Structure 1
Amino acid sequence: MSPQTGANRPADRTRTGILVALIAMLCSFADFGSISANATETIDIRFPVRESEFDTVFSCQNDSNPDCRSCLANRPDSASLVMYSILQEALNAGGLAARVQVVPSPNSERSRKMVSEGFADIKSDWDFNIDADPEVLKSLPILRRGEVEKGIYVSQDTFALSSDTPVSDVHHMSAVSIRTWRLDWEVLESLAPASLTSAATKQQIYALINAGRADFTLLEFSSGPGMVRSSDGIRLYPMPGVKVVLPASQHFMISRHLPDAEKIVAALNTGIDALHANGFIHQCLTNSGIINEQVRDWRILNPTEDQLAHHKTVPSN
């Protein structure tokens, strides 16, 4: 080996070391860039919406005006739009870059199955439906127990009579609902009406009351004039002064098949807390009529234990 060759070895080793260091640095930058891209990448969340409300929510999804997604537009009959708006806002408030994409579903039962099997990602649902399914996770409550209120909806003739004799109970009245509407049915049974009939469809409920074969049903209060609800030209009216509450809470149901499902639930919970604190959820619920300020002081026919306890602690005038 020549002296000159031997003299170059330290320099070669130095150059090799520098090259290795540069390669390592470039790799670390590449990894950093990959992590940053993943962190800011927008993920799509599939949100199932029943066919009767799909067009409304889909048009809002593609509307350049953000009002419909901010619960500022008046869409009184679309509970799906309310939950879509809350879900999108909660994900954003939780720090997650997500885009909620609606997918059609024939009904709530099918939507539930779609989320459970991974064909959709997130939907809103009652606590007992979520707790019974090991394939899904549950968010913090959107609607707390007892916050969902419904009216005693009757025909126009019965409504006119009630102005003279306000109802104090429904023991003398006949009720109609759909047996698979678990909470409504449970509440109606607790009210002990004179009779309780199961209808096949919501349209049949309206028809039976219109024909005088049933006196009342439970319906969400409308935010429209007089809180009137209508179907196929039949109008039903809320009995003034009384309401019922549903004894359950509503949450988001999240599919365990969704990648990073636990992290998405954590972000969703952070967002839900923030939206309760800043009033966004309450704004959505009141603007849609799910919580109706017009009936705030109406008497609850089936108060929860918490509501009874609160009533006892509030001094009478």
Structure 2
Amino acid sequence: MNRRRNQLSQKRQYLWAKNLLSSWLFGLVLASTGHTQSISIEGLIKPQQHQRAETQQHVLKVAVHKSKALWQAATATQACYEYQPPVQHNLTRGFLEVMILCRALHTAGAEFKIEIVDTPSHARAIRMVESGAADILGETTWLRNANPNEVLISSAVIRLGKLEKGLYTKAEHPAQQQVQDAQSVQGLRGITVDFWKTDRKALEDITPLSYSAAAFDNLHNMLVAGRADFTLFKFPQSQDLSIDIHGQRYLPLKGVKVQLMGTRHFLIDKQHLQAELILQAINQGLEQLHQTMDVEDFIGSAPLWVRDWQVLNNAFTESSK
């Protein structure tokens, strides 16, 4: 990682001269006007009444887990900040969070072009930002996963207590025929991915029979083989709440859910030449978005039709202490 970081640092030093003038102008205008309503990624703050300067649009490399094809389809005929998901869908949270990232930058007046970098896993996406191979983590991560020595951390995208998951079993699992409560769930075997530490904590809170898998495919295989009964999945925006994975249909145990502890954030490569400007734009945009729309509902972290289900753990209460 250090070797990669050194190589990227040398490249950035080469590009520094190209960016120096715009960064200097940013500081000059900021100091003289104090204006923060329209931020340009080039480092220029341009009041809305001023004519747009002819400047080259910067490219931001945004690392996301397997979302490039969705991004390309969604932005083929419209700007990313104009995208609206269908009423019912099973889109990934990472893809929808990139759309929130786009909206935040646009809302703050930032000039940019997003280039999606597909990654094989969420952990790999984080490592790419830490090493400088990507500029921004486009899917949010828990605060505990962020290394402040390597990255800048945005304000909360998904706020405390707003992310909930269902207890999903195979559609044909016998537990689907029974009414579930906190006591009955303790007799079921739960499984999650080892790296998903917040999910692991929620799982351990609701059953003593909790297991972890090295990767998502391993988790799926154990459920299919009957070596575990349920896992925690994000609720899709569909009335039956079903999820299909490699031909296997999963359903949530009706009436029960968990609440995940913590907040989720975007990460920015700390060594990026304009990291502070990017962070400022994202935070400014997020603040406005949280005032004008339901960000968590857009991302699909808690569908309206499951909000009266019983929370089996007390994550939000504990986090508030």
Q: TM-score, normalised by structure 2?
A: 0.75
1:303 corresponds to which of 290, 314, 321 = 314
Matched residues, percent identical?
Answer: 27
The CA deviation at 1:225 is: 4.0
The CA deviation at 1:152 is: 0.8
Q: SS at the partner of 2:67?
A: helix
Q: Deviations over 1:22-42 (max 9, x none)?
A: xxxxxxxxx99xx89862543
1:107 corresponds to which of 88, 99, 121 = 121
2:85 corresponds to which of 72, 75, 83 = 72
Whether the 8 Å CA contact 1:116–1:133 is kept in 2: the answer is: no
Whether the 8 Å CA contact 1:242–1:301 is kept in 2: the answer is: yes
1:279 corresponds to which of 264, 275, 293 = 293
- Within 1, Cα distance between the matches of 2:196 and 2:311? 20
Q: SS at the partner of 1:290?
A: coil
Q: SS at the partner of 2:181?
A: coil
Whether the 8 Å CA contact 1:71–1:283 is kept in 2: the answer is: no
1:293 corresponds to which of 301, 304, 308 = 304
Q: SS at the partner of 1:236?
A: strand
Change (3 A) 1:280 1:64: farther
Whether the 8 Å CA contact 1:117–1:257 is kept in 2: the answer is: no
- Within 2, Cα distance between the matches of 1:94 and 1:298? 36
1:157 corresponds to which of 147, 170, 173 = 173
Match of 2:9 in 1: none
Aligned runs of 1:76-155 on 2, under 5 Å?
76-123=90-137, 124-130=140-146, 132-155=147-170
Q: TM-score, normalised by structure 1?
A: 0.76
Amino acid at match of 1:112: I
Q: SS at the partner of 2:162?
A: coil
- Within 2, Cα distance between the matches of 1:269 and 1:248? 18
- Within 2, Cα distance between the matches of 1:262 and 1:106? 28
Change (3 A) 1:255 1:152: same
Q: Deviations over 1:135-179 (max 9, x none)?
A: 1111110001221111111222324322xx333332211112222
- Within 2, Cα distance between the matches of 1:308 and 1:79? 23
2:203 corresponds to which of 188, 191, 201 = 188
User: What do you get for the CA RMSD once the two structures are aligned?
Assistant: 2.8
Higher Cα Rg: structure 1 or 2?
A: 1
Gaps of 5+ in 1: 1-30, 310-317
Total equivalences in the alignment: 270
Match of 2:63 in 1: 48
Match of 1:218 in 2: 232
Gaps of 5+ in 2: 1-23, 30-39, 45-52
- Within 1, Cα distance between the matches of 2:173 and 2:100? 38
Amino acid at match of 1:58: Q
